[in-house]
Amino acid sequence: MARTSRRTTPPASSPPSVPGSRLEAPWARVPAWGLVLAVALGVRLAYLLTAHGPAFDAPLLDADYYDYLGARLARGEGFDPGPFWQPPLYPLVLGGLYGLGGHSLWWPRLVQALLGALTAALACGVARRLSGRDTVGLSAGLLVALHGPLVFYDGELLATSLGTFLGTAALWLAVREAPRVGTALLCGACIGLGALAVAPLLLLVPPLAWALARGRPLRAVLGVTACAAVVLCASATNRVRSGEWVLISANGGLNLWLGNNADVDGAMAIRPGAAWEALVNEPSRHGVHSPAAQDAWFRRKALDWCRSHPRECVGNLLWKARLLLVARELPRNEDLSVVRSQSPVLWALTARPGGVALPYALLWPLAAAGAVVLWRRWRAKEDVRAALTVAGAALMLAAPSVLFFVSGRYRAPLAPALCVLAALGLHALLSRASSRAVPLGVALAVLAVSVWPVRLAVDAVDFEAELHYVVGGRHARLGDDAAAVEAWRHAVARKPDYLEAGYNLGLALERLGRTGEALQAYESLLRWYPREALLRERLTLVQGTARDGGP
């Protein structure tokens, strides 16, 4: 019998598994940063498409001012006279977008959605460089991508999104394995531009310059020089426009005093209206009128108080450090717990299970565990420079909240670095190593601090009433008194003793010729404020108009 040759070939149903082959799952070939970018952009676009409400439809307070400046710049009218009141980069970006695409709130929001997605991808890269693990990088990127407050601020007309992106980009450039001269220049430029959006980002200079040096001080010098060149453009412009030297903007002294005085809790609760105007005009009542001199006046006032009350000053700093660790977003111009209902996406990303506010109730404990990991690496001398760079950047990004005051939007630039640390901590806690006991203990201690209730003066503010009040102010600024009346009526209905809302409601009704309704508005307020001279004056004028045959 003839022998037949037999070939041993794999069955057709069992193809060889070769990495990178065409039979590999498509998503397996997607880099971690690409997946993070797609998720972050998708979440932000979903938020923009589902968001609706007074706070989303009408920019509030600082956002309204930025919108006003952007429209002025788009028309070629320039900034208001004098030095910049707030850092100038974001209004310039708005002006460029409005000039190219028309005055639509969608242009900056779409650009900021992209910036938010890029921020998440950069955080992924920083965590990957720090840990050497794709999974840690992916975790950090997804934490940023799904960070509810960052998603919210990416939809607001505020400099927060732009500043957070530029600060994270600078950190990513600084931790790269082989920084070159171009990298150093770009890193410094990112810090400088970031400071022209959110001034405290200048604090990133020391840790990132040290990271760039790596035995070659020239690179650090170049980075600092690039940063200084960008910032000095604003300083020179302030000098030309006002004849005064103001580094970036003239609001720093006021913010410093708000966080460093005998009653920081009460100062943080000062609201838009008569009390705020009285505070801002305080230097003028003392004969100080130029913006730079007023800025210096508030700065001296804060520093003099700290010098004369060192114990209370240190106590304030420790108290603000404790507030920084609070899980919930501390409100400034808006309360996230009020506006989160404007989109199901935002509602889900800022969930409050059992009253515990996400994401910071998880981020702070995980980041604390990550800080333990970095400390161990420093002790073991494992990739010390990258570890110290990230730790130093996180401390510098946290410092403004402690030096000035804590607020949700002011700690937002810290969030990407916090997510990087949290990804490290999460990996350490999920590992089976016996050394995870210390990170776990630290995480639990920080969790207790972050969720422990704290009562603040600002908690007594009715932010829903204030929301309608400032929306009415925007409508009035745009010349739509009918819409302003509707908004102010909502504010007064929720808070009948709201002096500023009721008074402005009466003025708008007068402008519309509805003197009878204006009379009712003033009379209603007089029940709460019988000695208010302005109310009595307006009431007398309206009564006279009504007697003369007015509407």
Distance, CA of 21 to CA of 495 (rounded, Å) = 66
Question: Does the pLDDT value for residue 383 go beyond 50?
Answer: yes
Residue 547 is predicted with a pLDDT of: 66
Answer positive or negative: Cα dihedral of 186, 115, 390, 88.
Answer: positive
* Superfamily name with CATH number, domain 462-547: Tetratricopeptide repeat domain (1.25.40.10)
Residue 215 is predicted with a pLDDT of: 76
Residue 6 is predicted with a pLDDT of: 39
Give pLDDT tens digits for 276-298.
889 999 999 999 989 999 999 99
Among the listed ranges 33-42, 328-337, 414-423, 496-505, which one has the minimum average pLDDT value?
Answer: 328-337
Given pLDDT bands bounded at 50, 70 and 90, which one contains residue 355? confident
Given pLDDT bands bounded at 50, 70 and 90, which one contains residue 542? confident
Question: Does the pLDDT value for residue 13 go beyond 50?
Answer: no
Distance, CA of 89 to CA of 186 (rounded, Å) = 17
Query: Mean per-residue pLDDT for 336-361?
Result: 92
Give the type of residue at 455.
R
* pTM for this model (two decimals): 0.91
Query: Mean per-residue pLDDT for 470-484?
Result: 94
Given pLDDT bands bounded at 50, 70 and 90, which one contains residue 546? low
Which position has the token pair 């937002």? 412
Residue 479 is predicted with a pLDDT of: 93
Residue 275 is predicted with a pLDDT of: 87
Given pLDDT bands bounded at 50, 70 and 90, which one contains residue 469? very high
Mean pLDDT of the chain: 90
Give the type of residue at 278.
A
End-to-end C-alpha distance for the chain, whole angstroms: 120
Give percent of the chain above pLDDT 90: 77
DSSP 3-state assignment of 32? Answer: helix
Given pLDDT bands bounded at 50, 70 and 90, which one contains residue 375? very high
Residue 4 is predicted with a pLDDT of: 39
Given pLDDT bands bounded at 50, 70 and 90, which one contains residue 377? confident
Cβ(504)–Cβ(487) below 8 Å:
no
Which position has the token pair 């990271």? 211
Given pLDDT bands bounded at 50, 70 and 90, which one contains residue 323? very high
Distance, CA of 54 to CA of 66 (rounded, Å) = 17
Distance, CA of 215 to CA of 238 (rounded, Å) = 37
Query: Mean per-residue pLDDT for 139-146?
Result: 98
Q: CA-CA distances (angstroms) from residue 246 to 84, 193, 205? A: 8, 16, 19
Which residues, at least 6 apart from 340, have a Cβ–Cβ distance to it below 8 Å? 148, 152, 346, 347, 350
Written as one string, the DSSP assignment of 391-413 is HHHHHHHHHHHHHS---GGGSGG
Question: Does the pLDDT value for residue 42 go beyond 50?
Answer: yes
Question: Does the pLDDT value for residue 470 go beyond 60?
Answer: yes
Given pLDDT bands bounded at 50, 70 and 90, which one contains residue 134? very high
Question: Does the pLDDT value for residue 341 go beyond 60?
Answer: yes
Written as one string, the DSSP assignment of 41-66 is HHHHHHHHHH--SHHHHS--THHHHH
Residues of the chain with CATH 1.25.40.10: 462-547
Distance, CA of 127 to CA of 316 (rounded, Å) = 33
Question: Does the pLDDT value for residue 17 go beyond 50?
Answer: no
Choose the most confident range, by mean pLDDT, from 165-174, 208-217, 265-274. Answer: 165-174
